[in-house]
């Protein structure tokens, strides 16, 4: 018997009209249609829009704006010609200053709904350039025969396919303005269909591009890449498997680096995790230093310390700083960073901070101040150690307001801390990502 064809695929998209009531924590507009909540990408509170359904479930639906019938006063013309198709940004239609206010509202709402915490004193938001701010990115690469070229960039909105873009306005111009050059370069390579991504790292002294390669480069490929290195003034690396296979295509390269507060230079590799937004990162570190008011009597614990982004500037003024991170490789290079910066009052340790901690020496010491900078999953597993460590001040840096709110509730309601202040840091303009900070005291 012949299979029944899925006729739904041939039907035109279903559209509807809605009035946007509020904004969800991911930046989408929220409306109600037929007594069902609908989350609509590209819509702002107060607007009347026509939208196209992209998903319909029993309790909610999702969609995207196709026409704005009544626009919000906060709506602006996107600054990128590719905004409608590229999924790299989701907030360009909202005035940049209003983006920050929206993120503050998202943070407060998460504290209320998840943490049951209200009447929060807010720091002034940390903000910086709205364009060209991204110094780190992972660009997708795809040779698309039907389009007659190699695509380099980000995925389409709500799609696994790469968007066809010519430039990126939020990427640093050293790369953001050269996407077509990279497309042309890869199009000349013998393995143009075997390069799935390019990792970008732009720092104070250089621009590094790591080409992920699934097959070896030919001699001609290497010649083309070396010529591009010289003309574009970039450093190109190849990566055939894991991070340990990253190597420069033309001899050894100087370490990447950028300056941090307190006369610290942070050195890192081309694929290491460092903050995307260098200017906001520096402002964030300064806020931490101003808040903690460190002196030689302070013993500080820096959890999820990475390469020493906070650890090293704090060590310039504190008595002793201990950094802990889950990666052996990161800790090795954090120690090297401390040595290069002449800091002897800092020690580093490897530990998985997402599970019960082993009985190591550093765990049994006292720290009067603790800084926590966890991944999106938060730091729930280590919070109960704070009273044992004698922490009087805890500064929590977060890239996920939901887990920050959850952890804040634990610290306030179970561990006896008071949340003194919180705020947002606009690390990712034109996106719905919320970077935040909160101070707890006991």
Res 62 pLDDT > 90: yes
Q: What is the mean pLDDT of residues 303-319?
A: 98
The answer to which of 212-216, 233-237, 277-281, 354-358 has the lowest mean pLDDT is: 354-358
Last residue of a domain, one of 238, 253, 268: 253
Q: Using CA atoms, how far apart are residues 108 and 121, in angstroms rounded to an integer?
A: 10
Share of the chain above pLDDT 70, in %: 97
Q: What are the φ/ψ torsions at residue 145 (nearest 5 degrees)? A: -60, -40
What was the pLDDT predicted at 27? Answer: 84
State how far the Cα of 246 lies from the Cα of 242, in Å rounded to an integer: 8
Residues 283 and 385 in one domain: yes
Residues 235 and 283 in one domain: no
Within-domain flag for 243: yes
Residue 115 in domain? no
pLDDT at 1: 44
Among residues 303, 301, 336, the alpha carbon closest in space to that of 318 is found at 301
Residues 376 and 275 in one domain: yes
What confidence category does residue 7 fall into, taking pLDDT thresholds of 50, 70 and 90? very low
70 and 158: one domain? no
**Residue 14's CATH number:** 2.40.50.140
Task: Please enumerate in sequence order all residues whose Cβ is within 8 A of that of 143, keeping only pairs 6 or more positions apart, or say none.
Answer: 150, 151, 186, 187, 192, 193
Q: Tell me, what DSSP letter sits at residue 96? A: H
Specify whether 430 is located in the same domain as 343: yes
Residues 322 and 426 in one domain: yes
Which residues lie below 8 Å from residue 38, measured CB to CB, with a gap of 6+? 16, 18, 30, 31, 32, 51, 60, 61, 62, 63
Give the tens place of pLDDT for each residue, 365-400.
999 999 999 999 999 999 999 999 999 999 999 999
Domain CATH for 377: 3.40.50.150
Residues 218 and 263 grouped into a single domain: no
The reply to whether 428 and 279 lie within a common domain is yes
Please tell me the distance from the alpha carbon of residue 350 to that of residue 89, in angstroms, as a whole number: 35
Chosen domain end from 75, 90, 113: 75
CATH at residue 224: 2.40.50.1070
Q: Is 251's pLDDT higher than 90? A: no
**Would you state the structure tokens that stand for residue 441, as one six-digit string?**
């005291």
Q: Please report whether residue 101 resides in a domain.
A: no
Looking at the fold, whether 247 and 262 belong to one and the same domain comes out as no
Query: Are 286 and 336 found together in one domain?
Result: yes
Tell me whether residue 43 is in a domain.
yes
What is the rounded CA–CA span in Å between residue 149 and residue 181? 11
Q: Are 337 and 312 within 8 A, CB to CB?
A: yes
Distances from the Cα of 15 to the Cαs of 69, 87, 268, 359, in angstroms?
A: 14, 21, 49, 59
Task: Give me 245's structure tokens.
Answer: 């296979």
For 47, 72, 176, the CA distances from 69, given in Å and listed in that order, are 7, 10, 33
- Under the banding of pLDDT at 50, 70 and 90, the label for residue 10 is low
Within-domain flag for 124 = no
Say what the pLDDT of residue 11 is: 58
Average per-residue pLDDT for the chain: 95
Tell me the pLDDT band of 87, cut-offs 50, 70 and 90. very high
Q: What angle do CA 127, 131, 134 make, to 5 degrees?
A: 85
Residues 133-151 pLDDT 10s = 999 999 999 999 999 999 9
At 295 the pLDDT is 98
Active site residues: 399
For residue 109, tell me if it sits in a domain. no
**Residues 371 and 357 reside in one and the same domain:** yes
Query: Which residue, 31, 47, 75, sits at the end of a domain?
Result: 75
Across 346-354, average pLDDT? 97
Q: Verify that 282 and 195 share a domain, yes or no.
A: no
CA-CA distances (angstroms) from residue 239 to 35, 68, 301? 52, 45, 35
pLDDT of 9 reads 53
List beta partners, residue 32. Answer: 37
Whether 102 is covered by a domain: the verdict is: no
Please give the residue range of the domain that contains residue 243: 136-202+207-253
191 inside domain: yes
The domain total for the chain is: 3
d(CA 150, CA 143): 4
pLDDT tier at 26, thresholds 50, 70, 90 = confident
């Amino acid at each position: 018997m012949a299979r029944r064809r899925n006729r739904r695929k041939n039907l035109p998209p279903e559209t509807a009209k809605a009035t946007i009531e509020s904004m969800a924590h991911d930046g989408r507009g929220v409306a109600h249609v037929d007594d069902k909540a609908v989350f609509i990408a590209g819509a702002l509170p107060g607007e009347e829009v026509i939208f196209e359904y992209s998903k319909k479930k029993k309790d909610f639906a999702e969609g995207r704006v196709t026409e704005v019938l009544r626009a919000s006063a906060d709506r602006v013309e996107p600054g990128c010609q590719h905004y409608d198709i590229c999924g790299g940004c989701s907030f360009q239609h909202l005035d940049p200053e209003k983006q920050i206010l929206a993120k503050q509202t998202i943070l407060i709402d998460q504290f209320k709904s998840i943490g049951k915490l209200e009447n929060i004193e807010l720091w002034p938001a940390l903000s910086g350039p709205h364009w060209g701010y991204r110094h780190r990115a992972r660009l997708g690469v795809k040779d698309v025969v039907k389009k007659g070229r190699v695509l380099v960039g980000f995925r389409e909105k709500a799609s696994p396919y790469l968007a066809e873009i010519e430039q990126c306005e939020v990427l640093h111009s050293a790369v953001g303005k050269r996407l077509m050059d990279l497309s042309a370069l890869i199009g000349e390579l013998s393995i143009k269909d075997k390069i799935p991504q390019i990792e970008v790292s732009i720092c104070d002294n250089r621009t590094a591009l790591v080409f992920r390669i699934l097959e070896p480069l030919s001699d001609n490929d290497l010649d083309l890449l070396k010529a591009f290195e010289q003309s574009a003034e970039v450093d190109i690396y190849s990566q055939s498997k894991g991070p340990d296979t990253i190597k420069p295509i033309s001899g050894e390269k100087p370490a990447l680096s950028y300056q941090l507060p307190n006369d610290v230079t942070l050195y890192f590799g081309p694929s290491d995790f460092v903050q995307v937004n260098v200017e906001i990162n520096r402002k964030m570190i300064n806020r931490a230093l101003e808040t903690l008011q460190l002196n030689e009597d302070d013993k500080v614990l820096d959890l999820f310390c990475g390469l020493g982004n906070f650890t090293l500037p704090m060590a310039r003024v504190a008595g002793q700083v201990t950094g802990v991170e889950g990666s052996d490789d990161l800790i090795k290079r954090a120690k090297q960073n401390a040595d290069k910066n002449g800091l002897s009052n800092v020690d580093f340790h490897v530990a998985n901070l997402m599970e019960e901690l082993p009985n190591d020496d550093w765990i049994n010491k006292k720290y009067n101040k603790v800084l926590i900078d966890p991944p999106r999953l938060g730091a729930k597993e280590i919070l109960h150690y704070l009273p044992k460590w004698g922490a009087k001040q805890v500064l929590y840096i977060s890239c996920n307001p939901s887990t920050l709110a959850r952890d804040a509730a634990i610290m306030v309601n179970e561990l006896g801390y008071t949340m003194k202040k919180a705020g947002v840091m606009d690390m990712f303009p034109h996106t719905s990502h919320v970077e935040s900070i909160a101070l707890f005291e006991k």
